[in-house]
Amino acid sequence: MDYSLMNERRKLRIQQGRAYWNKLLEMSKAPMAVQEKFLMKILDDNKDTEIGRKYGFGSIHSIREFQEAVPLTNYDDYAPYIERMTEKGERGLLSINDPVYYNKSSGTIGVPKRIPYSEEAKNIFNITIGLLESAVIEDAVGEKYYTGRGINLIQCGGSLKKLPDGLFWGPISEAGLLVFRERWRNIFTSPLEASFAGPGTNTRYLHARFALEDPEASYILFTYAGFALEMCRYIEKNWEMIVKDIEQGTIDESVEIPEQVRASLMDIIKPLPERAAFLRSVFEKGFEEPFIPKVWPMLSYVYGGATGGFKDYARKLQERYLGPDIVFFRRGVSASEGAFSQSIEIDSCDSVLLPDSVFFEFIPEADDEPDMVHLLTLDQLEVGKKYELVITNLSGFYRYRMKDVFLVTGMCNNLPFIEYQYRSDRTVDLMGEKTTEAAVRAAAEDTATQCGFDLIDVTMYPDPEGPCYTYLMEVEKVPAALTEEQIRDCLEENLKKANPSMSDKLKRGFCKPTKLYFLQPETFLLYRDMIQMKGLSAAQMKPVTVISNEQQRRFFFGLREDFEEIGKKYE
C-alpha cells in the first residue's frame, strides 16, 4: 500500500506538534502568567453571558476576586442551562463559544451528562493532546513512525444522538473518529464494521482477525490499555479459528455478527493462505514469549490510557504480549470537559499540566478542612502530595469539581508533572477507612503475584451489612496446591498494606474479615457486552473496580463459580 499521502499528513502533524512542544517548554518557565491571562480572557469574553452577569465577570480582575465571586460547581449547577441549550436552542447562557457538540459522560448510573464542547475547546484539545503526542512518539521511534496502518481499538457503538438544537450528543471518541471514515481502511486495519459496531457484533474477532491479516501494522491505538490486553487474550484463546478463517477467506459460523454486517465483510475478505501459514507457525510454538513482535515486525509503538487504574493492564500487556522493544506511550489526562495534561516522555506515567488548555485549581487531599474558596493554583502544588482537580474551561464550566485526584510527581521548570490516582467520589468509606480504587486493585494484584495465579480482573463489593469487603476475582492458571483460604488470607494482608486504616478496623472488629468469591470465565467481557447493549460506548467503559449499584452487584454475584472449577491447574 502507498502510504505517501498519509505520511505527508503525519509529517505536518509532527511539525505542528514540535512547535507546541517548544511553546509548552517556554510556558513552563512562568505558567501562572499564562494561567492568569487565560482566565482573565475567559471572564472578559463571557461577561455578557447569563452566567457572566450572574457572577459579575466584568468586575473581576484577579484570580482571588474570581475565587471569591464564583462558587465551586458541579454538573447539577449547569444542567438547567444545558437543558435550555439542547431543548430550546438558547445560546449565550454559559459561554460565547457556542457548542458544536455535546460530550456524553461515561457514567452508568442515572442520567448521562451532556457536556458542552466548543470549537475553541476542540482546537486546543487537538493541539495539546493530538499534535504533541505525535511529536513525542516520532521522536522515540524515528522513521518507523511513517510505516503501515494502525490497529485501532477505540470502540464506538454508533450511539450518536441528534438533539433538538440540531447538535449531536455522544462519546467524544466516536465524534473524533468520524472525520476519518472516508479514508478509514487507508489508516486502520479494522473495518468500519468493527469500530462503529452496533449490538450483537463480536468486535473482538473483527479487530483481531483484520489486524492479523496485515503484516505491516505499525502501531496499536486504544482508549484504555485493557482493550489491547483483551484483544491479545482473545487471539491467544481463539487463534486456530481466526487463522483458519484467514486461510479460507471465511467468517466462522460461531462468530456473532448481524447478517448484513457478515455479508458486507465477506465482500472484502479474500483467502490469504500464505499469511495464515505464517501465523500458524508462530502460534503453534505457544505464548511463552510475546507474539506481537513476531506477527507484526513493523509494529513500533502502542498508545492510549495506561495510568491510574489501567497501569496493571498495561504492565500485563507489555510483559506478556509486547515485549521490551515496543515503545509504550501513556497518554496524559483528558476528559469531556477538557485536556488537562500530556506525557512528554515515552513509557512514563507522569504527564505535564497544560497551562493554556484550562484554568486549574486544586483541593489538597490530606487537608481535613481545606479553604474551599481560595483554592490552590498550580504554582502552590508540592511534589509528593495529592490534590483534587477543579477547572474552568473554554466551553462554559467555571470552578467545576472534576472529582479526579492527582499525585504531583515532579516539575518541568515551574510546571507540575502529575499522575492520575483515583476518583474522590469512588472512595470506599464504610467505617471511615477511605479505601481508594487503586488500593482495592493493588491488594488483588499483589495477591495474584504472591500466590502465582493470573488475575484477569477483579471487583469488590463494600457490603454495609457486614460491614466487610467482598472481593470477586476472575482468575486463570491457579497452582494446583493453592487453596481458597490461602488466597483469601493473602488478600486480606495485602488490603491492610494497601490501606493501613483497614488493619486497625479489622483488628478492632469494626470490619469483619474479607470475603472472597471467584467468577466464571469471561465474566468481565460479558459485563462490558451487556453495558454496550444498553447503549454505552465501549470506549467509555471504565473498570468496575468497586461495585457501586444494585445492577452491578446482582450481575457479578450471579456469576460466581466454585473455586475447584476455576481454570486450568498447573501440573
What pLDDT, on the 0 to 100 scale, is given for residue 109? 45
* 37-43 LR contacts (CB < 8 Å, sep 24+): 38/355, 38/356, 38/359, 39/63, 39/66, 39/359, 39/392, 42/359, 42/392, 42/394
DSSP single-letter state for residue 371: -
**How far apart are alpha carbons 503 and 511 in whole angstroms?**
9
**Nearest-angstrom CA–CA distance, 160 and 175:** 8
Query: Which residue, 530, 510, 533, 403, is CA-closest to 464?
Result: 510
Phi/psi of residue 491, nearest 5 degrees: -60, -45
Burial of 550 (0-12, 13-18, 19+ CB in 10 A): exposed
3-state secondary structure of 419: strand
Collapsing DSSP to helix, strand or coil, 356 comes out as coil
At residue 246, the pLDDT reads: 97
Taking the alpha carbons of 518, 520, 525, 530 in that order, is the dihedral positive or negative?
negative
Per the CB < 8 A criterion, the answer to whether 301 and 219 are in contact is yes
Instruction: Return the CA Rg of the chain.
Output: 24
Q: Angle formed by the axes of helices 484-498 and 437-451, to 10°?
A: 140
What pairing do the DSSP bridges indicate for beta strands 99-104 and 168-170?
Answer: parallel
Write the single-letter amino acid at 135: A
Q: Is 470 helix (H, G, I), strand (E, B) or coil?
A: strand
Give pLDDT, residue 202: 87
Distance CA 67, CA 69 (A): 6
Q: What is the CB neighbour count within 10 angstroms for residue 452? A: 12
Task: Report the alpha-carbon distance of residue 311 to residue 305 in Å, rounded.
Answer: 9
What separation in angstroms does the CA of 86 have from each of 107, 111, 172, 394? Answer: 20, 15, 17, 18
Which positions ≥6 away from 304 have C-beta within 8 Å? 153, 154, 220, 221, 222, 223, 224, 225, 227, 228, 330, 331
Would you state the pLDDT for residue 431? 86
DSSP for 82-117, please give it.
HHHHHHH---SSS-SS-EEEEEEP---SSSPPEEEE
Dist CA 361 CA 413 (whole Å): 19
**What pLDDT, on a 0 to 100 scale, did the predictor assign at position 571?**
41
Which stretch of DSSP H or E encloses residue 436?
A: none
> Structure pTM?
0.88
* Mean pLDDT per 10-residue section of the chain, whose length is 571 residues: 75 93 97 98 98 98 97 96 96 95 67 89 90 94 91 76 90 72 84 77 91 96 90 95 97 91 92 98 96 96 88 92 95 91 94 97 84 93 96 97 95 96 86 88 95 94 93 93 94 94 88 95 88 63 86 95 70 41
Detail the DSSP E strand segments found in 121-224: 150-152, 161-162, 168-170, 219-224
Amino acid at 155: Q
Distance CA 319, CA 463 (A): 35
> What secondary structure letter does DSSP report for 309?
G
